[in-house]
Amino acid sequence: MPELPEVETTRRGVDKHVVGRRIVALALYESRLRWRVAETISQQIAGQQVRRTGRRAKYLLIELDGGTLLLHLGMSGSLRVLPAETPRVLHDHFDLLLDSGVTLRFNDPRRFGSLHYTTQNPNEHPLLARLAPEPFDAAFNAEYLWGVTRRRRVAIKQLLMNSTLVVGVGNIYASEALFRARVKPRRQARTLTRKEVAKLTRAVRDVLNLAIRVGGTTLRDYVDADGNPGYFRQKLYVYERAGKPCRVCAKPIRQITQGQRSTYYCPSCQK
């Protein structure tokens, strides 16, 4: 599943191809995505120039002269930059055709992705308005994490993955951040010390930044968003390394299940 770093990598990959270009049309082949794509979008956006791209949580924002496109990759979506005449393949659901002769083509086998257009402030769109802070927001800081952990008995790893408290910290990144902060994933959130909370706040940002940097240098124009962290995998300390020696202390990495998701940690490095 595309996580925050893959969406940001996608944004960086498409940015130089779309900014300053005019939209010729939206060619919609399948409107039944997670929510039905409005057939009127094409008329609304044709002729508009792309001002900039942005991202909020896992939504890619394409800002036009008169409004903003909100695109979500869902569980299996990917966006590619292609010459417009490239033949379509199975699960290609729409083309955003640009005046450069290039298209942004959306492919999504499971159809959990989505496309919306708004002429209002996108941050006030119902899909975005109530999202929790994300790791790169100034609002996500040690003070905030300290506050939300104080009365919660839930395991710290599950708190990190609770999107009503912080958005964009997926399963891989939660395990990796906890390793870097040297905190065991099953610890009750409220037992973390101030120092651990501060370390964890930094670790969450660092691990996402690293994933974005690595993804951004390896994926380039063909932006594959199947959730495979690609080269980032070589930099993982614990994720999917059960039984393998810890890169710090050489003891075997352990795997447990929390909330139906696999968690990986080092029983010796993490307290």
**Residues catalogued as catalytic:** 2-3, 58, 261
What are the two backbone dihedrals, phi and then psi, of residue 158, each rounded to the nearest 5 degrees?
Answer: -70, -30
47 or 252: whose CB is closer to Zn ion?
252
Asked if residue 248 binds Zn ion (CB under 5 A), the reply is yes
Stretch that binds Zn ion, among 7-15, 118-126, 202-210, 246-254 (CB under 5 A): 246-254
**Least separation, in Å, of the C-beta of 256 and Zn ion?**
15
238 binds Zn ion, rule: CB under 5 A = no
Q: Counting contacts by CB under 5 A, is residue 246 touching Zn ion?
A: yes
d(CA 229, CA 212): 9
For the CB of residue 244, give the shortest distance to Zn ion in the complex, in Å.
Answer: 11
Q: How far is the CB of 94 from Zn ion (least distance, A)?
A: 46
Cα separation of the two ends of the chain: 30
Question: How many Å is the Cα radius of gyration of the chain?
Answer: 20
Contacting range for Zn ion; rule: CB under 5 A; set: 25-33, 104-112, 232-240, 258-266: 258-266
Q: Does 269 bind Zn ion (CB under 5 A)?
A: yes
Tell me if 183 sits within 8 A of 18, measured CB to CB: no
Residue 95 DSSP SS3? strand
Q: How far is the CB of 271 from Zn ion (least distance, A)?
A: 11
**Residues paired with 92 in a beta bridge:** 107
Distance of alpha carbon 18 from alpha carbon 208, whole angstroms: 25
Residue with tokens 């109530």: 130
Q: How many residues bind Zn ion (CB under 5 A)?
A: 6
Binding site for Zn ion (CB under 5 A): 246, 248-249, 266, 268-269
